[in-house]
Structure 1
Amino acid sequence: MARAIQIAGAWLGAAWLALPLPAGAQALRSYAIVGDAIPDRLTTTPGDAVRGRALVVERSSTCILCHNGPFPEVRFQGDLAPNLAGSGSRWSEGQLRLRLVDAAHLNAATIMPSYYRVDGLDRVGPSWRGKPILSAEQIEDIVAYLASLRD
């Protein structure tokens, strides 16, 4: 039993260290939620799908820990959340954006982090308080990539 607790503790510690660094103390850009989406980009320029894919498959962004998808080079993809293949066919860019910014807005019981929301969060480590996990640019890059997944 003690060995199992030790192993579980090691896994939790590794998962904590794998989390991305906060996006910084920069001011959050305002956004408006309309229905089940954030229709307007958080940035003035479109996201870059190549950078977005790199963020999705990078373990420190945590996407790949819960999701799987069309990433044949990535071993040990998650199975706790929806497969990302075909995301662009299932959701609009605005719907994808809201899921990244604040998935809890759509499902209060979700385990998906709010990657761009900072207010109203209870269980946040001191070094993360008041800071988004991803920057507005990173959110837009991931949206661009996920929207490109049509099959």
Structure 2
Amino acid sequence: MKQIIATVIAVAVPAMAATADETAPADVVNADGIVEQSLTGVPGDPENGAVIMKTKSAGNCISCHEVTALKDAQWHGNIGPVLDGAGDRWEEAQLRAILTDAKSVFPDSMMPSYYKVDGFTRPGDAFTGKAPSGPLEPLLNAQQIEDVIAFLLTQKES
């Protein structure tokens, strides 16, 4: 029961600014679609990564991607590529680049940049007048990014 509660809390808590041990979003070094350095220096947890991928209030990756290993999740999407075999198609540093700033790797992608906090167009003011005006928080925190990477690396071709 404690493990379930800890997992729910870890996923439900919104992404927060980087701590002293984490690489801040503005400090991520993306060299042509490669982010070599871990954002936390802590290995990712593939089990938590799977939870993040299928949790609507967190990564919600499953709404655009199909992943056979997450067949218990409803509503697998078909907008993004099927992620079965992702661990064979991409290296860890490539996955980190994709997750931190998808558009830097795939300019035409509709995938959100989960660890980017600036450089966005904020059209909300033109429509609602309610666009956030201050700094934005990343969609996922640094450890959540590392957890999703760890899960994706377990996805090998059958």
Structure 2 length normalisation: TM-score? 0.75
**Residue 64 of structure 1 aligns to which amino acid in structure 2?**
I
The amino acid of 1:48's aligned partner reads D
Candidates 19, 34, 57, aligned match of 1:37:
34
Q: Is 1:23 paired with 2:15?
A: yes
Code of the residue aligned with 1:149 in structure 2: it is Q
Aligned to 1:119: 118
Partner of residue 67, structure 2: 69
CA deviations over 1:93-145 (Å, ceiling 9, x no partner): 01111111000102222111110011211137418842101000000000011
Gaps of 5+ in 1: 1-19
Instruction: Please tell me whether the aligned partners of residues 25 and 130 of structure 1 are also in contact (alpha carbons under 8 angstroms).
Output: no
Unaligned runs of 5+ in 2: 1-11, 125-130
Q: What letter corresponds to residue 15 of structure 2 in structure 1? A: A
Give the superposed CA RMSD: 2.1
Summarize the Cα distance change of 1:103–1:47 in structure 2 as closer, same or farther, 3 Å threshold. same
Q: 1:108 to 1:54 in 2, by over 3 A?
A: same
- Structure 2 matches for 1:74-89, cutoff 5 A? 74-89=73-88
Other-structure match for 1:51: 48
Aligned to 1:100: 99
Q: Distance in 2 between matches of 1:128 and 1:75?
A: 35
Question: Aligned partners of 1:107 and 1:113: how far apart in 2?
Answer: 11
Q: Percent identity?
A: 36
Given that 1:66 and 1:79 are in contact with CA atoms closer than 8 Å, whether structure 2 keeps it comes out as yes
Asked if 1 retains the 8 angstrom alpha-carbon contact of 2:100 and 2:115, the reply is: yes
Structure 1 pair 128/146, CA: closer, same or farther in 2 (3 Å)?
farther
**2:141 match:** 135
Q: 1:40 to 1:55 in 2, by over 3 A?
A: same
Paired residues in the alignment total 132
Aligned to 2:6: none
Q: Which has the higher helix share?
A: 1
**Is residue 17–residue 141 contact of structure 2 (8 Å, CA) maintained in 1?**
no
